[in-house]
Chain A
Amino acid sequence: MLDVLTIPFMQNAIIGGILLAVLLSVLSIFINIKNWSFINVGISHATFGGLALGVYLGVSPISLGLAFAITTGFFIGYISKKGNIHEDISIGILFSISMALGVIFLTLTPNYTSDLFTFLFGNILTITKQDIYLLVIFSIFTFGYLYFFFQKILFCCYNEEVAYTSGINTNFYYYSLITIIAVATVLAVKLVGVILASAMIILPAATTSQMFWHYKKIIITAVLLSIIIVFAGIFVSYQYNLPSGATIVFIYGIVFFITIFVKNIIQVIQHGSS
C-alpha cells in the first residue's frame, strides 16, 4: 500500500493535501466562533463564476476565482456590517448569480469538455508543484499574520465594539481575515472543488470544539485530525478508485457525527453517575 508514496502525482497530492489541511483547520476556529459557515459557503460558490470566466477568456481561472472570492468576501462583510440587508439573503443572492454566470461562461466556451466536474468537486491528483509552492507561500504569510495579530483578532471576535473602544482597528482585522479565508477557500477548490471547499474549513474546529472548550486545544487537535483525515481520504480514494475530495469530506462528516455521538454518550454516563 505504501508504494503509492513513490508515485510523483500522489506525492504532490499528499503534500498539498496536508498543507491545506493545516491551513484550513487553523482558520476553521474563526469560521466557527464567528458563525461564518454560510459566508464561507457563499465565498466558495462565488469562486465558480470567476473560474468559469477564466476558462472562457483563456486566462488563469485561479486568478479570476480569487478575484471573485475576495470581492464576494468584502461585499458580504460590508453588507453584514451595515446591516441593511440580512447577510444570509445577500450571500444567497450573490453566490446564485456567480454560479449562474459560471454555467453561462462554460456553456459559451468553445470545445469545453471536462473541467466543470473538476471545478465542482475537485481532483487532488491534479495538484501540481506550482500549487504546492503557492500553498507554502500563502501558509507562511497566514501563519505570520496570525502569529502577530491572533490575540487582537480573537478580541474582535469576542466583541467587536469592545475591541474598537480599546483602540483596535477592527475594520482592518475584519476585512483582512475575510480576505485570508477567501484565498484559502479558493486554494481548497483544487482539492475538493467549489461545492465541498467550505466543508474543509468548517468541519475541523466544529468537530474538535465538541471535545475541548479552549481555543488552543481546539486548534491543535483540529490540525492533527485534519492531517489524519486528508491522509486517510487520499489512501481510501486511491485504493477504491473513489473521488478524492468527496472521500475526504465524507470522512470529515463521519468523524464529526461520531464525535457528537460519543460526547452525548459520555454526558449521559456522567449525569447517570452524578
Chain B
Amino acid sequence: MKILEVKDLTVKLDNKTILENINFEVKKGEILAIVGPNGGGKTTLLKTILGFIKPYRGKVEILGLPPKKAVKTGKIGYLPQKNNTPKKFPVSVLDVVMFGLVNSKLSKNEKLQKALEYLDYVGMKDFKDRPFSDLSGGQQQRVSIARVLVAEPEIIFLDEPSTGIDVVAQESFYEFLKKLRDQKNITVVMVTHDVGAVAKYVDKVAGLNRYLHFYGSPKDFFKKDILSKLYGADIELIVHSEECVTCEHFRFKTEDKTC
C-alpha cells in the first residue's frame, strides 16, 4: 500500500533550482533513507514533503492527501534535524512526550499512562521527571522519538537523526528504528549523511543531488557509477557490513575493497 508519493517534483528557492523532476513512492512499513552530498537538497525534499516549502512544480501526497491536509490527520511524526527548542526550555521529559498527545481525546490519566508506556519503550522512563534540557543529545533523541510515537503515527520523517549522537548510540538508534518498523509497521523516511547506516538498516535508498540519481535497494546503491554520479567524484565509499564481525571496529567494504 502506497503511503507517500512524490511526483514530478521541482523545487526552486530564490529562483535557484534545488530539486528537479523527483519521482518516487514509499510503501507502508518501508524504511527509506534519503542520502546525498551536502547541499544536494535532502532537507529541502523533506521540508517540501511536509508542506513547509511550496513546490515549483509537481505534487506530494502523504496518506493520499496533500501535505497541509495530511498533517492535520495527526498520523504524521516528524523529528527535525536540529532541535530548535530554546535553551533551558522549562519542561520535564514527561511533558515533552505529553506534547505528542495534545490533540488526543483521551482522559488526563490515560494520556499519562500512554506517555509512560512509550517512555519505557525508548528506555527513558526513569528520566520522566528530569529537565529535558539536561539530557544528552542521544537521550533527547530517544525522548523525541517517544513524543513522535505516542501519537501513533503511520509514517515518521527523521532529518539527520544521528546528528549529535555517538557511534554506539547511532547503532542502537538504527536498530531501534528497525524494531519499530517490525513491531508497529510504521513507515520511516529519514534523511541522513550517514551512508554507512544505509546498507544495514533500510529497505530503500534515494540518492539525491538535485536529481534523484538512484532509487532502489541498498545493495544496488553501492556501485561505483551511481556513487560518482551522486557525489560528483570518483569516490570510494565505505559501508558498515555485518560480515566484518572480526574487526575491532565497524569496517568498510566497497565493490573493490573489503576488510
Name A's B-contacting residues (CB within 8 A): 29, 33-35, 151-152, 154-155, 157-168, 209, 212-215, 218
Contact = CB atoms under 8 A, between A and B. Distances in A.
Interface range for B: 20 to 34
B86 A167 contact: no
A127 to B, nearest CB: 32
Given A33-B86, A213-B90, A167 B99 contact: no
Given A33-B90, A168-B103, A213-B90, A159 B83 contact: yes
B16 interface: no
Contact of A152 (B73, B77, B95, B102): B102
B196 interface: no
Interface in B41-82: 50, 52, 71-74, 76-80
A159 B73 contact: no
Given A152-B102, A213-B131, A165 B78 contact: yes
Contacts of B172: none
A218 B85 contact: no
A151 B98 contact: yes
14 contacts: A151-B98, A155-B102, A158-B91, A161-B78, A161-B80, A162-B78, A162-B99, A163-B99, A164-B71, A165-B71, A166-B74, A168-B103, A209-B90, A214-B131
B102 A209 contact: no
A154 B80 contact: no
B102 A161 contact: no
A212 B91 CA distance: 11
Nearest to A153: B102
Contact of A158 (B50, B88, B99): B99
B251 to A, nearest CB: 37
B151 interface: yes
Interface of B: 50, 52, 71-74, 76-80, 83-86, 88-92, 95-96, 98-100, 102-103, 131, 133, 151, 157
A34 B90 CA distance: 11
- Tell which of B50, B74, B91, B157 has the most Cβ of chain A within 10 Å: B91
Contacts of B90: 29, 33, 209, 212-215, 218
A9 B149 CA distance: 57
Contacts of B98: 151
B53 to A, nearest CB: 12
A162 B91 contact: no
A209 B80 CA distance: 27
Contacts of B50: 161, 165
A46 B89 CA distance: 29
Nearest to B144: A162
Quick one: which of B77, B79, B95 has the most chain A CB within 10 A?
A: B95
User: Which of A154, A165, A214 lies at the interface centre, i.e. has the most chain B CB atoms within 10 A of its CB?
Assistant: A165
A158 B133 CA distance: 11
A166 B102 contact: yes
Contacts of B157: 165
